[in-house]
Amino acid sequence: MMSAVHFGVATADHQCEAFDPRYPDIRDEWEKLAGQTPRGQATDFWNRYQEDVRLAAGLGCTMFRISLSWARIEPEPGVFNQEALDHYRDVVRAIKEAGMEPMVTLMHYVWPLHIDLLDERFPRRFHAYAEKVAKELGRDVRWWITINEPTELVFGFLKPWWQHAYRMPPGLSADATSHEQMESCARLMRNLFRANREARRVLKEHDEDAMVGANPLILGIPTWIQNLMDYRAIGISSLEHLASHGHSVARRTAAKKALHSLLGPIPRILSFLPTVLAADWWNLGLAGKLAHFICPADCVHQMDFVGFDYYWGIRPYHLQAIHRLLDAGMGRFDLAPVWCGALERMLKRYQKLFPHLPLVIVENGSVVTADGVSRALYLEQHIQVVEQAVAKGVDVAAYVCWSITTNREWGLPAGPGTDFGLYHVDLDNDPELRRQPTPAAETYRRLIAASPTRAARPTSPGRAARPG
């Protein structure tokens, strides 16, 4: 029997909710210090969520992903904002009343200013936050994301030589050595695994049927390269080994910098790909394949589904396009290589790695045009891959398109090259923030309606059954 797939859309708190000076998060401070584009009003989802929920329902969606602003919910250590929790309960119930399953993310790239991800107390702090959320929302939410794209958070502590600054907060001091950067990454990875474990435990305590996971961002690189990187990651045996590995990469940096002007992107590709951070380390850890100093034994298998984000990829023998994958990580989405075949490979990979768990494509989508491919065509190609995989017996529980509307793309200027929205919003010039359908919205509606695998809407505002 084929699994039933929830087709959905998504938002995120920092990218869609208007800035409130009472509750700044780490990214608000980062954007200000780095001179990046602030979120401002964003799409004002805080006040206009009902409109966006209606738009999603009109597309035929049966899932709507949101994230919670931890900074709003816990503005001071141990002090919880009931008004914010009540608001998010209203959002969740609006989603359910519209016939969709809410998927709720606890931490989507941002956290309160009083939180330190490297602090050994971070997992306990995350536990307390998750426990409060579970008490308030647990009865209405089944699908949870603990930490959005944990694999990307390392770039707040690691600065490759070709970048002039850290890609995201919090950043280390300007004179941090490669050894210190790798050591910080190891501490972060361990803390993220522990925080995921703590959040899952408390969510399952409140609802044993809760489906809890995370969504690492996966690059579509050739299988042989992925296998090589994963093999190297699995071979890391100690913190000293990891740090010395980072140091050996750094020793080669000077030569590669000198060659950069002659060989273009090749030196930075050779600098990044050999590192453990280029591996699929989150899922390798949860599968029990990493050393326990990175993923402790009691953190293994702490998941109810295999979630991942996929946007861009290259064909097996088009290695010259790898540099465009790295550029996409820096916000050059319009040139990012589009290849749906990598999504097919990932679905097969995770079915083999976690044979008893459903798969969830937590994020997939495109800017207006990437690699010469329109967003509408992008969706057609990738959803066809999902349909074919399900027909072959792959248990895909959900496909969530990023995103329902234009949003603030992490400090980047608004424009076609940073706009992932099915509904366009002119963030800078339209004071009414009108939602205007793009051609891709109609394409997505048509694809959902025609899908032989789509999940049925819940028959009541209550919880829907597990698809399949």
pLDDT in tens, 66-84: 999 999 999 999 999 999 9
Classify the C-alpha dihedral 405-408-409-412 as positive or negative. positive
Q: What is the mean pLDDT of the chain?
A: 91
Classify the C-alpha dihedral 376-382-388-393 as positive or negative. negative
CA distances from 383 to 236, 390, 421 (A): 36, 11, 17
H or E element at residue 192: helix 178-206
Q: pLDDT band at residue 296, thresholds of 50, 70 and 90? A: very high
What CA–CA distance (Å, rounded) separates 300 from 190?
12
Q: Span 372-378, mean pLDDT?
A: 99
Q: pLDDT band at residue 273, thresholds of 50, 70 and 90? A: low
Residue 176 burial (CB < 10 Å; 0-12/13-18/19+)? Answer: middle
Backbone angles phi, psi at 413, to 5 degrees: -65, 145
Residue range(s) defining the domain that contains residue 376: 6-450
pLDDT at 136 over 90: yes
pLDDT at residue number 279: 82
pLDDT at residue number 3: 78
Closest CA to 186 of 118, 273, 136, 87: 118
Assess if residue 28 is contained within a domain: yes
Strand locations in 48-114, DSSP E? 63-67, 101-107
Closest CA to 223 of 336, 314, 101: 314
Q: Are strands 143-148 and 211-215 parallel, antiparallel or unpaired?
A: parallel
Strand, helix or coil at 112? strand
Backbone angles phi, psi at 219, to 5 degrees: -85, 140
CA distances from 347 to 225, 342, 392 (A): 17, 9, 11
Q: Using N-to-C axis directions, what is the helix angle for 341-353 and 375-391, rounded to 10°?
A: 40
Provide the total of helices (H) and of strands (E) in the chain, helices listed first: 16, 13
Tell me 456's DSSP state.
P
Buried b / exposed e across 54-76, counting CB within 10 Å, b at 16+? ebbbebbbbbbbbbbbbbbbbbe
* Higher pLDDT pick, 271 / 216: 216
pLDDT digits (tens, 9 = 90+) for 164-185: 889 999 999 988 988 899 899 9
Q: Span 313-333, mean pLDDT?
A: 87
| Alpha helix segments (H runs only) across 368-435 | 375-391
Domains identified in the chain, total number: 1
Assess if residue 299 is contained within a domain: yes
Q: pLDDT band at residue 233, thresholds of 50, 70 and 90? A: confident
Task: Give 125-169 as a DSSP string.
Answer: HHHHHHHHHHHHHTTT--EEEEEE-GGGGGGGT---TT-SS-SSS
Return all residues near 303 (Cβ < 8 A) that are at least 6 apart: 196, 200, 212, 213, 214, 286, 354, 357
> What is the distance in angstroms between the CA of the first residue and the CA of the last residue of the chain?
8
What CA–CA distance (Å, rounded) separates 179 from 251?
11
Assess if residue 462 is contained within a domain: no
Q: Provide the percentage of residues in the chain whose pLDDT is more than 90.
A: 77
pLDDT digits (tens, 9 = 90+) for 328-349: 988 999 999 999 999 999 999 9
Here the CATH number for the domain that contains residue 92 is 3.20.20.80
Q: Span 228-244, mean pLDDT?
A: 75
Q: pLDDT band at residue 263, thresholds of 50, 70 and 90? A: very low
Assess if residue 152 is contained within a domain: yes
Q: pLDDT band at residue 275, thresholds of 50, 70 and 90? A: low
Assess if residue 269 is contained within a domain: yes
pLDDT at residue number 247: 46
Query: Would you give the distance in Å from CA 231 to the centre of its chain?
Result: 24
pLDDT at 23 over 90: yes
H or E element at residue 310: strand 306-313
Q: Are 389 and 395 in contact (CB under 8 A)?
A: no
170 upstream amide cis, omega within 30 of 0: yes
CA distances from 358 to 104, 133, 211 (A): 17, 24, 10
Q: pLDDT band at residue 242, thresholds of 50, 70 and 90? A: low
Assess if residue 149 is contained within a domain: yes
Return all residues near 162 (Cβ < 8 A) that are at least 6 apart: 260, 268, 271
| pTM of the predicted model as reported, rounded to 2 decimal places | 0.93
Assess if residue 333 is contained within a domain: yes
Q: Are 236 and 230 in contact (CB under 8 A)?
A: no
User: For 174-178, 252-256, 393-397, which range has the lowest pLDDT when averaged over its residues?
Assistant: 252-256
pLDDT at residue number 222: 86
Assess if residue 366 is contained within a domain: yes
| Alpha helix segments (H runs only) across 273-371 | 281-286, 322-329, 341-353
